[in-house]
Amino acid sequence: MSDLRLNATQLDRYSRHVIMDEIGPDGQQRLLESAVLVVGAGGLGSPAIQYLAAAGVGQLGIVDDDVVERSNLQRQIVHGDADVGRPKVESAADYVAALNPDLDVDTHDTRVTADTVADLVAGYDIVLDASDNFATRYLLNDHCVLTETPLFHGAIYRFEGQLTSFTNERGGDEPRPCYRCVFPEAPEPGTVPDCATTGVLGVLPGTVGCIQATEAVKYLLGKGDLLEGRLLMYDAMDMSFEEVPIRPNPSCPVCGDDPEIESVGDVAYEGTCGISAD
């Protein structure tokens, strides 16, 4: 018989999970005992935070060093007009508290750097990358590979999004790719414009962030097939999805056969995120 530890309120709140054979009370308890770090409380982080909180992920960490601007509100839906000027982590935490009092929320009003990444990631089961810059993406990838921490990636540009999942399990029978296997180095600074320059469809990050949250919940439950080994490309203009197979790169500097990166201190994350010269 299942060890039913959900109280009456939780059984009511999560009833649509509990009645599913794939989740049930044990699966819901597993979610309540899980911890997810969301890096970025902006366009991608907003829907991911909403659905992870609604699903009952018991501990949410939110990392962001920015404040809410009115131009954010077209897509960053955990913030409201009254939050303009507030730290995004505070606004997001208030949203979660109002949505689901079951959760513990850790706010990290800071930037992810080589000096802070270990302390930020420690204690969380998985990391959801909802960042908006290459330095953070490569830093999270390298740290998560080195610590075998699952990482769920998403990115958006104008009308397009891309997603994949990296469990970062090493030493198994089948090699697994990482972000650097697909994108060995970041583009040169200034060659890829940001959404402040090119714009972004407001509903686009909702789709991408929700898929990131879906992948995270599936992983925590141990159910379904993840996007590992597949890069999912979404085009909102055509309403089309395309899958691109991705494979481990034996020459990858962090997870390849002869890795050059043994610590995040080995990498210059500003610029092309390549190996430090010194």
Report the 10 Å Cβ neighbour count for 242: 11
Nearest to 101, CA basis, from 4, 32, 17, 3: 32
Q: Per the residue annotation, which of 195, 252, 255, 273 is the catalytic one?
A: 195
CA distance 173 to 8: 44
Q: For position 4, what pLDDT does the model report?
A: 63
Q: For position 277, what pLDDT does the model report?
A: 44
Q: Which residue has the higher pLDDT, 244 or 1?
A: 244
Rg (CA), the chain: 19
Average confidence score pLDDT of the chain: 93
What's the distance, CA 214 to chain centroid?
A: 11
CA distance 92 to 77: 9
Specify which residues 36 forms β-bridges with. 60, 126
Q: In sequence order, what E strands does 133-190 have? A: 151-157, 160-166
The pLDDT-based confidence of 124 (bands split at 50, 70, 90) is: very high
- In which region does residue 189 sit, left (phi positive, over 0), alpha (psi from -120 to 50) or beta (all else)? beta
Each residue of 13-42: pLDDT tens digit?
999 999 999 999 999 999 999 999 999 999
**Residue recorded with tokens 């606004």:** 91
In this predicted structure, the answer to whether residue 278 has a pLDDT above a threshold of 50 is: no
Q: Which residue has the higher pLDDT, 276 or 213?
A: 213
In this predicted structure, the answer to whether residue 190 has a pLDDT above a threshold of 80 is: no
Each residue of 235-273: pLDDT tens digit?
999 999 999 999 999 999 999 999 999 999 988 888 777
Q: What is the mean pLDDT of residues 3-12?
A: 87
Residues contacting residue 33 through CB under 8 Å, at least 6 positions apart: 58
Domain ranges across the chain:
17-266
The pLDDT-based confidence of 192 (bands split at 50, 70, 90) is: confident
Q: How far is CA 138 from CA 25, 180, 261, in A?
A: 37, 7, 12
Catalytic site residue 195?
yes
In this predicted structure, the answer to whether residue 274 has a pLDDT above a threshold of 70 is: yes
Q: Supply φ then ψ for residue 164, to 5 degrees.
A: -160, 170
Nearest to 227, CA basis, from 129, 117, 147, 121: 129
CA distance 104 to 96: 9
In percent, how much of the chain has pLDDT > 70? 96
CA distance 151 to 234: 19
Each residue of 85-100: pLDDT tens digit?
999 999 999 999 999 9
Nearest to 87, CA basis, from 112, 108, 60, 66: 66
- CA geometry: angle 156, 232, 197, nearest 5 deg: 15
In this predicted structure, the answer to whether residue 119 has a pLDDT above a threshold of 70 is: yes
The pLDDT-based confidence of 193 (bands split at 50, 70, 90) is: confident
Each residue of 34-60: pLDDT tens digit?
999 999 999 999 999 999 999 999 999
In this predicted structure, the answer to whether residue 115 has a pLDDT above a threshold of 90 is: yes
Could you confirm whether domain 17-266 is CATH 3.40.50.720?
yes
